[in-house]
Structure 1
């Protein structure tokens, strides 16, 4: 009887230790945390008039997504006279467009988990800089129309 109780205590202790060290990472895996670019129709602009709009991003199923580092890039054609800049969880498009037309481009978002998430450089459920064995990058197509 003592051997059975001892085994139960050992197994119970191991389970508690596992849960205390990997609970957050396990939840992220079950909840499927991943980067997300919000879908949005960007405002229509006019040639020669100041333009400004943004696309917001987050990490789905992650209550601490403000603690991630967000990196944006743009592939394709922005309207001539316009640029973009990163602002926390947003990519902001601004400038004075010099040409009318429909300009399509792809926004790529890459997120890096905050330092506390990566326990000892990679926890049990964390593979380096990837969110729970998932992809830490996402891409989405957008269009800016200038009249």
Structure 2
């Protein structure tokens, strides 16, 4: 056998050995499984009237139905009177009656977890997604 053939065979057996013995996290990271908050323009709000809008997430390179939002972090300013909560397993719901006119910019960060995780491990390449949003109150 020549050196190139030996190199290719060695590389092949190395890769097989690594993936046969790696944990699920390594495989998922290799596949690029990670959450993504879907970009959108938030609905405008009217002061002192009920507001309701959702931001959804999807999983890159996997079925979103197998994952859920475990944590939500809001950085920046929501309009006074607007709150947020998890909605179903794949959305953040913004609701309430804003009481101050203006434009409010904020960042939403979510942590996603697989539905089948029993030990709290994220089993993904990356488990946090973030995106910037704005709500205008008229």
Residues 77-110 of structure 1: per-residue CA shift (max 9 Å, x gap)? 1111110110111000011111110001110111
Distance in structure 2 (CA, Å) of the matches to 1:76 and 1:24: 32
TM-score, normalised on structure 2?
0.73
The runs of 4+ residues in structure 1 deviating greater than 6 Å are 21-25
Map 1:7-46 → 2, pairs under 5 A: 18=20, 26=27, 28-46=28-46
Distance in structure 2 (CA, Å) of the matches to 1:137 and 1:75: 14
Q: How far has the Cα of 1:66 moved from its partner? A: 2.0
RMSD (Å) for aligned C-alpha atoms: 3.0
Change (3 A) 1:82 1:62: same
Q: How far has the Cα of 1:29 moved from its partner? A: 3.6
Map 1:56-95 → 2, pairs under 5 A: 56-63=56-63, 65-70=64-69, 71-87=71-87, 88-95=89-96
Distance in structure 1 (CA, Å) of the matches to 2:83 and 2:112: 21
Query: Which one has the bigger strand percentage?
Result: 2
Secondary structure at 1:39 match in 2? coil
Query: Which one has the bigger helix percentage?
Result: 1
Match of 1:49 in 2: 49
Structure 2 contact 25–123 (Cα < 8 Å) conserved: no
Larger radius of gyration: 1
TM-score, normalised on structure 1?
0.69
Q: How far has the Cα of 1:46 moved from its partner? A: 0.8
Distance in structure 2 (CA, Å) of the matches to 1:94 and 1:107: 15
Unaligned runs of 5+ in 2: 1-12
Structure 2 contact 38–57 (Cα < 8 Å) conserved: yes
Unaligned runs of 5+ in 1: 1-10, 122-127
Match of 2:116 in 1: 115
